[in-house]
Amino acid sequence: MRKGNTLTYIALIVACLLSITPFYFMFIVATRKLEVINAVPPPLLPGGDFGENFGRVLANEHAGFMYGLINSLIVSTIVTICVVFFSSLAGFAFAKLRFRGQGAMLLIIITTMMIPTQLGVIPLYDMMVNFFQLDGDLLAVILPFLVSAFGVFMMRQYAATAVSNELIEAARVDGCTTFRIYWSVVLPALRPAMGVLGLLTFMEQWNSFLWPYAILNADTPTVQVSLALLASAYYTDFAQVFAATAVATIPLLLVFVVFGRQIIGGIMEGAVKA
Amino acid sequence: MTQQQTGGAHGATGQLSHLDSRGTPRTANHGGPRFRKRERLSRLDVKYSPYLYVAPFFILFAAFGLYPVLMTGWMSFTDWNLIGDWKFIGLENYANLMKDEYFWNAVRNTLAIFLIATIPQLLLALLLAEMLNRGIRARTFFRMIIFVPNITSLAAVAIVFGLFFRRDFGAINWLLDFVGIGPIDWRRETWGSWVALATMIDWRWTGYNALIILAAMQAIPRDLYESASLDGAGRWRQFTSITLPSLRPTLMFVIIVSTIGGWQLFVEPLVFNSGSGAILGGTQRQFQTVAMYMFERGFSDLRFGYGAAIGFALFAIIVVASMFNFLLVRRTVRE
């Protein structure tokens, strides 16, 4: 393969600048006084008013931003744990066990990935409100997402190659039950893929919008619902909205700085396998 | 890669139930009267426990995935409005939908935004992937930075780009002023709003798609290129006759995923159009998408039956559009 030339580097650096600029501006506006957003040209360095701006976010009862942060943390954590657990369990069964109807079941799971999520929103809303009485309840945004077809498929693909048949066989001979094999042979081997799936699930849940927006209200928002409430009612106070946006984004940036390499590896690996 | 599980004969020393298996394994077993019972349990474990492991997915999916979708289908034949009875009205909702100019307006907007977003996005992603596939320094750094937009929430993207795309004092209009283009009212003008929304989509997804394409590029055997360059094929020739054909399945995947996502566009236009009537997508509905229209009829007007019909129409559009793109890729990119 040819070595990259100067032009390649210039183009890539421009692409990177385009990627980062919106983040950078988010932090500039979040840390400066409100008037600054109308300055032409815009300021290039962050200021020192973040505390004041974020103070206005916290004092804003309409948006319930702190509740949003806590609620999102609860929802994303519970969903992530369950998705990773159920996906690895089912993925192991599909990759390493034999049972009747296995192929058809896997096909069904893959097919369900094509159904658009918005399609069932109205009956789901009806079910949550009228049957489960969960209007505005956090459980309503947790329950529908405890399993993921994508997760099962990803775990199956990974388990097929990462878990050695000999090890499973040996465990059987030693008298391990199937669940014990899952717990002490399969889980350790699946750990890298579970990490990637967990990170992707957490980010997806943290950023999830449509369903929480439909079922939750201003008293129990998730962080994205709270952001939308802020942006829609206080769109003149950009400094406040941006301070909240920055705080809502920082956890994901931190996750990405620490685990970005694994996430990208997982996505690229999955792309080739799928 | 599936493996034949040997049955109970080997696993005869299994524990009584897989549920208490967190305890220490019992290794010793010397037969005796309990031997046969264990053997039978173990055989049950091997034969039936797989169903237990896949059951959570199917049970939860049936309740919260399949049931709502089927109900949407049924609901779309009724005039239900959350409180009253379900009155069966046949195809009336769909007949009304065909005559509904707001629906067709939403279809047109969504299609336009999808096209404006997807075509440049794919070309850019291909170019980026091609550049990342050259022997460059700091490759991990570049990969991470072009991916990072994908981690932000849609709401955050729309909020930040909403600031860039203001008519007065917006960064984009400020830049356009240098090349002599007058201020554009991005929220009010139809084309302006489409371009603004397409920009948000592309900012978030181009890097992601570039990485997917890059992964596929790296799987192309190197010797194909070597023999091609021995035959005197130039870089462009190699790209069109080796790279592109090998990328066909991946391009198909990327385009179908973009189609499914693009037709469901909802959050960006909603947040872009701040204020109380946000769901309308602009004063003249100039950027209301199909998903927004479904939401408006279903949740704002409480016409759930009609909203459900819009949902199924959207599903039909997605299926047709995906098939169309599938055929398009198959015809244009030769293997």
Domain count, chain B: 2
Give which of B203, B219, B196 is closest to B128, Cα–Cα. B203
**C-alpha–C-alpha distance, residues A143 and A94, integer Å:** 24
Task: Assess whether pLDDT exceeds 50 at residue A229.
Answer: yes
pLDDT at residue B236, as a whole number:
86
Look up residue A180 and give its two tokens.
């014990």
3-state secondary structure A174-219: CCCCHHHHHHHHHHHHHHHHHHHHHHHHHHHHHHCCHHHHHHCCCC
Q: Write out chain A residues lying below 8 Å of B294, CB-based.
A: 118
Inside any domain, residue B48? yes
Task: Kindly tell me the burial class for residue B269, based on how many C-beta atoms sit within 10 Å of its own C-beta (0-12, 13-18, 19 or more).
Answer: buried
* Long-range contacts formed by B185-192: CB under 8 A, 24+ apart: B187/B272, B187/B273, B187/B282, B188/B282, B188/B283, B188/B286, B189/B286, B190/B284, B190/B286, B190/B287, B192/B165
Q: Write out chain A residues lying below 8 Å of B156, CB-based.
A: 26, 227, 245, 248-249
**What is the distance in angstroms between the Cα of B13 and the nearest Cα belonging to chain A?**
5
- Report residue B228 CA to chain centroid gap: 36
Inside any domain, residue B288? yes
Q: Determine, for residues A119 and B68 on separate chains, whether the beta-carbon distance falls below 8 Å.
A: yes
Task: Assess whether pLDDT exceeds 60 at residue A238.
Answer: yes
> Is B12 an 8 Å CB contact of chain A?
yes
Pair (B142, B275) in one structural domain: yes
For chain A, percent of residues with pLDDT exceeding 90: 42
Please tell me which residue, A110 or B201, carries the higher pLDDT value.
Answer: B201
pLDDT band at B25 (very low <50, low <70, confident <90, very high): very low
Q: Give the count of alpha carbons within 13 A of B334, CB side only.
A: 4
Inside any domain, residue B11? no
pTM of the predicted model as reported, rounded to 2 decimal places = 0.84
Pair (B292, B145) in one structural domain: yes
Pair (B198, B53) in one structural domain: no
Inside any domain, residue B129? yes
**C-alpha–C-alpha distance, residues A264 and B74, integer Å:** 41
Mean pLDDT in residue range B180-199: 90
Inside any domain, residue B85? no
Pair (B141, B40) in one structural domain: no
> Is A36 an 8 Å CB contact of chain B?
no
- Which residue range(s) make up the domain with B30? 18-62
Whether A236 contacts A166, CB under 8 Å: no
Q: Write out chain A residues lying below 8 Å of B155, CB-based.
A: 207, 209, 224, 227-228, 231, 245
Pair (B48, B195) in one structural domain: no
Pair (B56, B114) in one structural domain: no
Residue A41, preceding peptide bond in cis (omega within 30° of 0):
yes
Q: Determine, for residues A25 and B164 on separate chains, whether the beta-carbon distance falls below 8 Å.
A: yes
pLDDT at residue A265, as a whole number:
84
**CATH number of residue B111's parent domain:** 1.10.3720.10
**What is the distance in angstroms between the Cα of B135 and the nearest Cα belonging to chain A?**
5
**C-alpha–C-alpha distance, residues B30 and B13, integer Å:** 9
What secondary structure letter does DSSP report for B87?
A: -
**C-alpha–C-alpha distance, residues B154 and B134, integer Å:** 32
Inside any domain, residue B76? no
Please tell me which residue, B204 or A229, carries the higher pLDDT value.
Answer: B204
Look up residue A28 and give its two tokens.
């500039």
Angle value at C-alpha B67, between B65 and B69, nearest 5 degrees: 70
pLDDT band at B33 (very low <50, low <70, confident <90, very high): low
For residue range B67-101, list pLDDT tens digits in order. 999 999 999 999 887 677 778 888 999 999 999 99
**What is the distance in angstroms between the Cα of B191 and the nearest Cα belonging to chain A?**
22
Q: Could you report how far apart the first and last alpha carbons of chain A are, in Å? A: 26
Pair (B34, B112) in one structural domain: no
**C-alpha–C-alpha distance, residues A22 and B212, integer Å:** 23
Inside any domain, residue B82? no
Q: Determine, for residues A12 and B136 on separate chains, whether the beta-carbon distance falls below 8 Å.
A: yes
Inside any domain, residue B55? yes
Tell me the C-alpha to C-alpha distance, in Å, between residue A85 and each of A11, A91, B205: 42, 10, 28
Angle value at C-alpha A122, between A116 and A126, nearest 5 degrees: 140
Task: Assess whether pLDDT exceeds 70 at residue B15.
Answer: no
Of the ranges A187-196, B202-211, B299-308, the best mean pLDDT one: B202-211
Angle value at C-alpha B91, between B89 and B97, nearest 5 degrees: 110
For residue range B190-244, list pLDDT tens digits in order. 999 999 999 999 999 999 999 989 988 988 888 888 888 888 888 888 888 888 8
Give which of B110, B96, B170 is closest to B318, Cα–Cα. B110
Whether A176 contacts B27, CB under 8 Å: no
Alpha helices in B76-138 (DSSP H): 92-99, 101-132
pLDDT band at A128 (very low <50, low <70, confident <90, very high): very high
Give which of B113, B142, B161 is closest to A242, Cα–Cα. B161
Q: Identify residue B174 by its one-letter amino acid code.
A: W
For residue range B267-303, list pLDDT tens digits in order. 899 988 866 778 888 888 999 999 999 999 988 888 8
Q: Write out chain B residues lying below 8 Å of A147, CB-based.
A: 56-57, 60-61
Pair (B33, B163) in one structural domain: no
Pair (B29, B137) in one structural domain: no
**C-alpha–C-alpha distance, residues B193 and A120, integer Å:** 28
For residue range A139-153, list pLDDT tens digits in order. 999 999 999 998 998
Domain with residues A78-231+259-273, CATH architecture: Orthogonal Bundle (1.10)
pLDDT band at B135 (very low <50, low <70, confident <90, very high): confident
**C-alpha–C-alpha distance, residues B5 and A90, integer Å:** 17
pLDDT at residue B330, as a whole number:
81
pLDDT at residue B54, as a whole number:
95
DSSP assignment of B184-253 equals P-TTTSHHHHHHHHHHHHHHHHHHHHHHHHHHHHHTS-HHHHHHHHHTT--HHHHIIIIIHHHTHHHHHH
3-state secondary structure A64-101: CHHHHHHHHHHHHHHHHHHHHHHHHHHHHHHHHCCCCC
Of the ranges B15-19, B61-65, B216-220, B296-300, the best mean pLDDT one: B61-65
pLDDT at residue B335, as a whole number:
56
Give which of B266, B124, B135, B263 is closest to B202, Cα–Cα. B124
